[in-house]
Amino acid sequence: MNFVRTLTLRQLQIFVVAARHLSYARAAEELHLTPPAVSMQLKQLEDNVGLPLFERLGRGVALTDAGEMLVHHALRVLGEIKDAESNLQALLGAEVGQLSVGLVSTAKYFMPRLLAKFSQEHPGVEVQFTVGNREALLQKLQDNAIDLAVMGRIPVEIDAHAEPMAAHPYIIIGPADHPLREARRFDLQELRHDTFLLREEGSGSRRVAEEMFKNHLFTPARTISMGSNETIKQAVMAGMGIALISLHTLPLELKTGEVSILDVVGTPIERTWYVVHMNSKRLLPAGQQFRSFLLDAATPSLQDEFDRYVLPRTAA
């Protein structure tokens, strides 16, 4: 097999986008091409490889085993080319460059504000965000598809460097009219008859909730799993139950009083935000600037917005 001589970077770019969407039509839309043009490029790539990379599943497509293998190599190749471009830009001595940052879903609530401030201070640096679950971000770090990641646990699964960025408190919220909304420092057992709304299995927030139940020898009367923080917040506001959730996902709901913070003993549960990159990754000036910015700016920014909702209650 000697397809390296005949494949093109454009084919790899189209393949990666099609693999991400699992749709030729959506890939064509993102790349500003026609679906036949995308199909033709992917057919040429498959001919070069000598193996099918996609298989039809109803109206959509799925990656074959060969496609799954190639996509990780393609991401690394494109990542190395991006690094080469950034390295050459760095030689110019100007504050320019591109940076890819991965976020766990909880971080998407506050990172845009930090990005806006960074962009004002460093207008020549273009920062792109990718939002995904922890497992997806770990894979992207290994594939060199992102330069940095912001997540809530140190990634011991991979050879990465993690630096603490800011405190990350979890609190228990209920609807605005919850019977215990005015109570102070009460035991978790007082909520034994409430329905707990939890994130899906495998999520970081679900793990924090399960650790809390275990530490308090607590068994909720009922639990309901939901796939996003937004769904949980809406369900709490509708009176479906209560939830242990990141304080940083609630900037609007706390300001408008649509949820109440339940002052349970042992809360807030303190976790930490980390900024992460692979040990093998040589961060270019843009990446070094953004990492330093997050380490300096994240804590005061989050404290200014959120501490007033927690500190008065824990002092009671």
Check which CATH number belongs to the domain holding 49 and give it: 1.10.10.10
Does residue 100 form part of some domain?
yes
Please determine, for residue 315, whether its predicted confidence score (pLDDT) is greater than 60: no
Q: 196: how many CB neighbours lie within 10 A of its CB?
A: 21
Domain match, 143 and 228 both: no
Give the range of the structural domain holding residue 242, as residue numbers without chain letter: 167-271
Q: Which is more confident, 129 or 85? A: 129
Look up residue 260 and give its two tokens.
């109440």
d(CA 266, CA 90) in angstroms, rounded, equals: 48
| pTM of the entire predicted model | 0.68
Domain match, 182 and 242 both: yes
Domain with residue 153: its CATH number is: 3.40.190.10
Domain match, 99 and 18 both: no
Does residue 115 form part of some domain?
yes
The per-residue pLDDT for 3 is: 57
pLDDT band at 87 (very low <50, low <70, confident <90, very high): low
Does residue 83 form part of some domain?
no
The per-residue pLDDT for 232 is: 95
The per-residue pLDDT for 316 is: 38
Domain match, 175 and 254 both: yes
Domain match, 177 and 261 both: yes
Please determine, for residue 120, whether its predicted confidence score (pLDDT) is greater than 70: yes
Does residue 31 form part of some domain?
yes
Domain match, 158 and 276 both: yes
Please determine, for residue 31, whether its predicted confidence score (pLDDT) is greater than 90: no
- How many domains in the chain? 3
Between the two ends of the chain, the Cα-to-Cα distance in Å is 70
The per-residue pLDDT for 95 is: 63
Does residue 314 form part of some domain?
no
Average pLDDT for residues 103-123, to the nearest whole number?
89
Please determine, for residue 93, whether its predicted confidence score (pLDDT) is greater than 50: no
The per-residue pLDDT for 30 is: 84
Domain match, 185 and 202 both: yes
| Lowest-confidence segment of 36-40, 202-206, 222-226, 278-282 by average pLDDT | 202-206
Q: Which is more confident, 238 or 95? A: 238
The per-residue pLDDT for 90 is: 60
The per-residue pLDDT for 92 is: 52
Domain match, 194 and 219 both: yes
Does residue 142 form part of some domain?
yes
Predicted confidence (pLDDT) per residue in 190-212, tens digit? 999 999 999 888 777 888 999 99
Average pLDDT for residues 58-70, to the nearest whole number?
83
Domain match, 230 and 287 both: no
Does residue 77 form part of some domain?
no
d(CA 148, CA 130) in angstroms, rounded, equals: 10
Please determine, for residue 51, whether its predicted confidence score (pLDDT) is greater than 70: yes
Q: Which is more confident, 2 or 6? A: 6
pLDDT band at 230 (very low <50, low <70, confident <90, very high): very high
The per-residue pLDDT for 94 is: 40
Domain match, 151 and 291 both: yes
| Lowest-confidence segment of 161-170, 184-193, 197-206, 255-264 by average pLDDT | 197-206
Does residue 236 form part of some domain?
yes
The helix/strand/coil state of 102 is strand
Domain match, 171 and 266 both: yes
d(CA 167, CA 174) in angstroms, rounded, equals: 22
Look up residue 136 and give its two tokens.
């997806």
The per-residue pLDDT for 310 is: 72
Average pLDDT for residues 237-248, to the nearest whole number?
94
How high does pLDDT run on average in the chain? Answer: 86
Q: Which is more confident, 294 or 27? A: 294
For 183-189, the CB contacts below 8 A with 24+ separation are 183/262, 183/263, 184/263, 184/313, 184/316, 185/263, 185/264, 185/265, 185/316, 186/263, 186/264, 186/265, 187/216, 187/264, 187/265, 188/212, 188/216, 188/218, 188/264, 188/265, 188/266, 189/216, 189/218
Average pLDDT for residues 272-280, to the nearest whole number?
93
Average pLDDT for residues 72-97, to the nearest whole number?
70
